[in-house]
Amino acid sequence: MISLLTTRKCGTMLASLLNRREFWGGVALSSPFYAEFFPWHWAVTLTLPLALCVTLYPERIKAPHASIVPIALLLMIHGVALLFTETQFAYQVFKDMVLATFLLAIYLLANRDTSDGLFLALLPLGLASSTIGLFKAGLLDRGYLIGFILDTCASYPAGSALCVNYNNLGLIWLVTALGCLRGRLWPLLPILFAAGALSSSRRFLLLALLLPAVWILIDRKFGAIKAAAVGVFALIIISAITDPVSFERYRFGAEPYTVLFGSSESSSHTASANENINRSAPLIILGTMGDGTLGTATRLDYWNLAFKSIGWLPQGWTYHETFSCSFSPCTEFHYPHLTLLSEWIIGGALAGVLAVLFYAFPLSAVLRRREPLPIALAVVILPYSVISGDTVFSLPICISCILVALSSIPRKDWKSF
C-alpha cells in the first residue's frame, strides 16, 4: 500500500513538473547559448522536454504580443530575397532563418513567462565556463597553456576567453548574472564578473555597470550593499588570478610556455603563441576606446561602404559579394556589421523601418511593464545584435533574449480580441 501511494505521489510530481510549459520553454530558448559550445544537434535536445509537455498536455496557444510582427515580416523579406537574388553564403542565411523560426515557435508554444527556465538552464553553463575561463587565465599569466585550447582555437585566446567569440561569451555571462540577481544565487556573481572583466569584451565591461541599477530596483533594501560586495569580491578574484609581470616574461619569450594536457601537436604551436597572445585586463580593454571612435575604428570602413550601398528599393543579398570582394579575395564572409543597414539593403526602406521596430517594439513593451529583468534582457542584447551580426537574425542568442523578455508580458486568449 505504501509503495503504491509513493508511486502515485511520484507520478503526480512528475506530471506537475512536465506540465510546466513555460519553464521548459525557457530551457528550450537556452539552446542558442549552449550551441556556442556544442554542436546544434546536441543543443537542440534542450527542446525535448517542451515537445513532451506539448504532446502530453496540449493547450490552446494564446495570442502572441504584437512585437513579433516585425520579426515575422523580416523573415518573409529574407525568404523572398533569397529566392530572387544570389549569395555564396546562402547556407548561412537559410540557417539563420531556420533558427529564428525555430525560436519563435518555442515562444509561441510556451504561452507564458519563460525567464525561470532560461536562467536556470544557463546557470551550469555560465558558471562552468566562467570558472574554466578564470582557471585558464591564471595559468596563462604564469606561463602555462592548455593543450586542447591551443589545438582547437585559431589563436590562443587572451585572459578568460575560450574558443568562443569573446563578445558572445561575455553576453552569456551577463545573462547568467541577470538570473543570479534573483533569490539566493547572488554570491556566485563575483565569478561571473571577474571572468567577464578578463574576457577582452568591452561590451561586457560597459554593460556590467547596468546590473547594479537592476539589482537596486529588484532589491531596494539591500541591492546597493550586495552590489558593492560583489564588486569587491570580483576585484579580489581578479587580483588573485592575474600576474602582469609574469605574463610579460612569457609573452615576449624571455621564458618558454609550458603546455598542459597537450599532445605533440600542442607543443608545435607553442613557439608562435608568444607572438599571438595579448594581455586582457579591464583598464587595457577600456583604453582601446580612447581613439575618438569609442572602439569602433574597425567597423568604420564597413559602415561607410554600407551607407554607400543603401537605396529606397530592395537589393537582396547582392551586398554579400560587394563586401566579400572589398575586404577579402571574394571568398570570406564580410558584411556591414550594422544590422539596420543590412536589412535596409536587403529589403529597401521598408525593411530598414522594420529592423528599427524589431528592436524598438519589444523594448518599449517591456519598459511599459516596468519589470527590471525583462528590461535588462532587452537592453543588454542591443550592443551585441546591432553591431555584431550580419542581419537581425544572425545572433540566435539575442533573439532568445528578446523572446524571453516578451514572454514576461501576459498573452491574451484569442477570444478576447
Least confident residue range of 98-102, 116-120, 267-271: 267-271
Q: Name the band, by pLDDT with cuts 50, 70 and 90, for residue 250.
A: confident
Q: Residue 7 sits in which domain range?
A: 1-59
Cα separation, 306 vs 392, whole angstroms: 15
Give a yes or no: residue 277 inside a domain: yes
Question: For residues 233 and 277, is the Cβ–Cβ distance under 8 A?
Answer: no
* Residue type, position 166, single letter: Y
The percent of residues in the chain predicted with pLDDT above 90, rounded, is 68
Same structural domain, 162 and 84: no
Q: How far apart are CA 10 and CA 5, in angstroms?
A: 9
Confidence of residue 416 (pLDDT cuts 50, 70, 90): low
pLDDT at 284: 67
**Per residue in 277-308, pLDDT tens?**
777 777 666 666 555 455 566 788 999 999 99
Q: Which residues partner with 412 through β-bridges?
A: 63
Asked if residue 148 belongs to a domain, the reply is yes
Are 125 and 233 part of one and the same domain? yes
Which of the pair, 316 or 12, is modelled with greater confidence?
316
- Based on the fold, state whether residues 164 and 236 are members of the same structural domain: yes
> Looking at the structure, do residues 123 and 272 belong to the same domain, yes or no?
yes
| Residues shown for the chain | 417
Residue 404: inside a domain: yes
Residue 217 domain flag? yes
Amino acid at 401: C
Q: What is the pLDDT of residue 11?
A: 46
Structure confidence at residue 147 as a pLDDT band (50, 70, 90): confident
d(CA 411, CA 255): 62
Domain tally, the chain: 3
- Please indicate, yes or no, whether residues 105 and 128 belong to a single structural domain of this protein: no
As a whole number, mean pLDDT of residues 386-402 equals 95
